[in-house]
Amino acid sequence: MSSILPVKFGEWYEKHQTPAKHDLVASTVSAISLAQLLDISESKKESEEKIGLNSIVLDEKEHPAGSLELRRNLAALYSARSGGVTYDDILITNGGSAAQYTVFYSLLSAGDHIICQHPVDELLYKIPTIKGIEVTLWEADPAKQWQLDIEELKGLIKDNTKMVVIQSPCDPTGAIVPKSTLEALVQVAEEKGVLLLADETNRPLFHSILPSSEDFPPSAINIGYEKAIVVGAVSKAYSLAGIRTGWIASKDKAIINACKQTRRYTSTVSSKLDEAIAAEAVSDRCIHALLGRNIRLTQTNLDVLQAFIESHSWACSWVNPLAGTTAMLKFHKMGKPVDDEAFCEQLCEQAGVLICPASSCFGDGHRFRGYVRVAFGGPTPELKAALGAWAQFMEESYDSIPTISRK
């Protein structure tokens, strides 16, 4: 029986969520109500009719791939920049984690090897280990703006390598995989005949890079590689964390069919209520206003967070995130990294501010020592209140935080 690695981030959040007054861990953009979603629609009446909460029949008579309306709307999003994605290329799942799980269990076997960008959502490299899959971490370098090295990737590939896994935008760093890097990655994947899995759960929340930039990344499904697979969800960039709706997208029919087989073992259908709301959120009526709201909010909050960091430059530094709702901050004292777990514990106990230690939640206890991961997607007044309490803690208690030897 395969051992299951603990999900450190989830354990940390569960332990500290209740006693904390200020939550800077939850990475969704400020959640919206159903009423707010309808209010931002370009046609509220049509949106009400499309969602049709009063007329939804709560049966299981739904297409095995998920709501046709939702799949059509998602396909339209991908096809906006590059044609060819259809609703048949998309499979709906019960959330983003279910999408990850389904892909790994459908396409990989014990003894296979994958290469996973790091740091990323820990499920991307921990789920495969349950099935006996070998995982090698492809480390992003903070000294290089958390960017990946393609030459390093080439040296990590083995005879049994079956898949390369990336997350763009990335949680926890807020970095992206630039277009040029993505194109080079596809070239390597094609040469070696390996699958490419891109977790795009935080897409398209690009708050600090313009579509006109040469680095702006297309979705991996639009990069021209048939063996590319994308997973997404409405929980993060679309402010619908209470909706358990995710998806898998690929132009390779064999990949989608394999994922359908696995999905039948977990759930024959997804929630009709969730799918109806998700379909409307990503429809032409709502998506432009919704993403506009969320990009403006994260831009505002990023400025607030940057001001906090600049005022505490004597203790911390960072690489400015380009997308998503999270960032990695490095704290130090006298040239040594602080004990990030002790720092986060004391900050929560004394100031009620919840952040998470990167060395334990995203590293192995040694990687990312001194780093903490902060989420800034919540309401701006709440972020300001949290940073105010944090600033007071820095003044009164930071001297008591222990450091860690570099050895």
Task: Note the pLDDT tens digit of each residue in 148-181.
Answer: 999 999 999 999 999 999 999 999 999 999 999 9
Q: Are 336 and 407 in contact (CB under 8 A)?
A: no
At 305, the pLDDT band (50, 70, 90 cuts) reads: very high
Instruction: Using the structure block, give the residue that is written with the tokens 């967070």.
Output: 305
Residue predicted with more confidence, 90 or 404: 90
C-alpha closest to that of 362 among 142, 80, 195: 142
At 270, the pLDDT band (50, 70, 90 cuts) reads: confident
Whole-number Å distance between alpha carbons of 388 and 299: 19
In the chain, pLDDT over 70 holds for what percent of residues?
97
H-run or E-run covering 165: strand 161-167
98-130: pLDDT as tens digits: 999 999 999 999 999 999 999 999 999 999 999
pLDDT at 342: 96
What's the whole-number mean pLDDT along residues 296-304?
A: 98
pLDDT at 83: 63
Confidence check: pLDDT of 365 > 90: no
Domain with CATH 3.40.640.10 in the chain: 43-286
Question: Of the CATH numbers 2.60.40.1180, 3.40.640.10, 3.40.50.300, 3.40.50.1950, which one belongs to the domain with range 43-286?
Answer: 3.40.640.10
pLDDT at 272: 85
Domain with CATH 3.90.1150.10 in the chain: 8-33+289-394
Count CA atoms closer than 13 A to 387's CA, side-chain side.
22
Lowest mean pLDDT among 26-30, 64-68, 285-289: 64-68
- When computed from its CA atoms, the radius of gyration of the chain, rounded to whole angstroms, is 21
pLDDT at 80: 67
Confidence check: pLDDT of 1 > 60: no
pLDDT at 407: 47
pLDDT at 59: 67
Beta bridge partners of 118: 139
What's the whole-number mean pLDDT along residues 138-153?
A: 96
Specify the CATH number of the domain 8-33+289-394: 3.90.1150.10
